[in-house]
Chain A
């Protein structure tokens, strides 16, 4: 499998604050890669370094071997990287169809601007995400789950190869969460590589192939969901030292039990 995106010692400072500090990561093609960590850990900042909203202060990010560290978001989008926003940002006074058409027009492969083709592509994506019955609604009139879906649909219309999902499940009820997870799996099966930031553990641990954990801007763990969720450092970061100690003791006693 080829490497899709790789970060080498990526750092981003805001003045004296290290939002992301020397983080290395490597995502393979066709993988779902989860990114978790407590609030303020630098997950969204790392996303923004990848898409180019904030160029990294130091370090290097390569996409399929190409250096994209200093590219603007619209340039990375044309290369095939796009993201959804944590706080949904629909074009509120446009219809759902037009929202997605913007993505279809300006993403990859619509240089000529054929209106018909872009509309067809937009409809295809809307059908896939289940928004097809609401094409003529104004985006401002959608419910939150629909806005989240619209966010995904608009990103998909740009025909990305690498999709960065920033908390798409946050704020959804369990049924909607399951639908969204199903959608993400389906996307991976269609060949997309997905990088997702998520706070809902059920979602991120259930769907990811590998997970990276950030805390205060630094990477503290990486591995399969199972490895990560039992890692004492991760438990400490989320729940505090006493829980980590308790978890450690429990783990040891479990091991002793299994030995016996």
Chain B
């Protein structure tokens, strides 16, 4: 019965076609691998935005410090790989370390509510970035921690870390393409499971009224922390993939504030607190970023490079969304359906009554 209904829905067919197309992308070689890179980045960002959505969307705790997890994941992987650990083994370790770090700052910060939590996370994000930037100098004279340095380098400071590139880069990239895709589906499945489970119900209750949630027996402190740890774990794995795919990381990129902002932006663009929203948001974000970073506007002899303006554009976009359509693209879609599809809406309750 359910399968039949699924088969009849056009949505199923569209998503199926899309998945098959995505599976074939590495073999098609569209734009000389350009599409493959773009798709890979989209998978990665879907993981990030889905992870952020568990804390920010479901639980309602807006975090501006998720770049700390991304960076920690990337650095954990790079540091371990440079010390001879197999890259794939480093991935769960990267996730775990990010999760533990999440617990470390989450426990004190999550005691704050609403905007106070958001502000605290900005501080945590910046502090972590500066710490990673200066870590080598800080520990080089401490007896025990000194051992972690390799040729005087642990995090590499502002220069960052370079990973060795494999010989067959094309096969490597293809492998990572499928790995990222698989992990993206795992992330979406996790998100779906959380939403349907008792855990998710508790998170939504916390989102809507934390005091009421507490009185009906939701252990709000541990639920919020669990959501943060889960979210951090997923972002940490995302960071790990990024480091392995790019072969080069530096604190300004992976720990930078723009990274945190992008994780807030994507679910907000798509539709906060939903499963599909973060996907839509990530796609829009990646495509827009890709277009804008390379676009130039020519006014007579004067050329304006839009890449310098892209943060301004995102900031403006965020303001517009929050002011006019806080539920993002999905909210907009619902509103449009309500306005132009009145008949369809009216038909639904009648059907339910029968």
Contact = CB atoms under 8 A, between A and B. Distances in A.
A189 to B, nearest CB: 23
B281 to A, nearest CB: 20
Nearest to A89: B212
Interface in A46-75: 51, 53, 72-75
Query: Most chain-B CB neighbours within 10 Å: which of A77, A94, A105?
Result: A105
Given A98-B201, A105-B198, A113-B198, A82 B217 contact: yes
A7 interface: no
Q: Is the interface of B mostly helix, strand, loop or mixed?
A: helix
Interface in B166-211: 197-198, 201-202, 204-205, 208-209, 211
Interface string A69-96: 0001111011000110100011111100
A155 B198 CA distance: 17
Contacts of A154: 212, 216
B214 interface: yes
Contacts of A92: 208-209
Nearest to B215: A73
Contact of A85 (B205, B215, B219): B215
Contacts of A78: 217
Contacts of A82: 215-217
B218 interface: yes
B198 to A, nearest CB: 4
Given A74-B218, A77-B217, A93 B212 contact: no
Interface centre among A72, A91, A92 (most CB of B within 10 A): A91
Choose among A85, A106, A158 the residue with the greatest number of B CB atoms under 10 Å from its CB.
Answer: A106
A118 to B, nearest CB: 8
Contacts of A158: 216-217
Given A91-B204, A105-B201, A113-B197, A77 B216 contact: yes
A78 B217 CA distance: 6
Contacts of B219: 72, 74-75
Given A85-B211, A91-B212, A101 B220 contact: no
B334 to A, nearest CB: 13
B98 to A, nearest CB: 27
A103 interface: yes
A246 B329 CA distance: 68
Contacts of A75: 219
Contacts of A113: 197-198
Contacts of B214: 53, 72-74, 77
Interface string A145-156: 000000000110
Contacts of B93: none
Contacts of A91: 204-205, 208-209, 212-213
A235 interface: no
A107 B216 contact: yes
A42 to B, nearest CB: 19
30 contacts: A74-B214, A74-B219, A74-B220, A82-B215, A89-B211, A89-B212, A90-B209, A90-B212, A91-B205, A91-B208, A91-B209, A91-B213, A92-B208, A94-B205, A94-B208, A102-B202, A102-B205, A102-B218, A103-B217, A105-B201, A106-B202, A106-B218, A107-B217, A108-B217, A113-B198, A115-B198, A154-B212, A154-B216, A158-B216, A158-B217
Interface of B: 197-198, 201-202, 204-205, 208-209, 211-221
Interface of A: 51, 53, 72-75, 77-78, 82-83, 85, 89-94, 98, 101-103, 105-108, 113, 115, 154-155, 157-158
Given A75-B219, A113-B198, 18 more contacts: A53-B211, A73-B214, A74-B220, A77-B214, A90-B209, A91-B205, A92-B208, A92-B209, A93-B204, A101-B201, A102-B205, A102-B216, A103-B216, A103-B217, A106-B198, A106-B205, A155-B216, A158-B217
Give 7 closest A-B pairs by Cβ, nearest first.
Answer: A106-B217, A77-B217, A113-B198, A89-B212, A91-B208, A103-B216, A73-B214
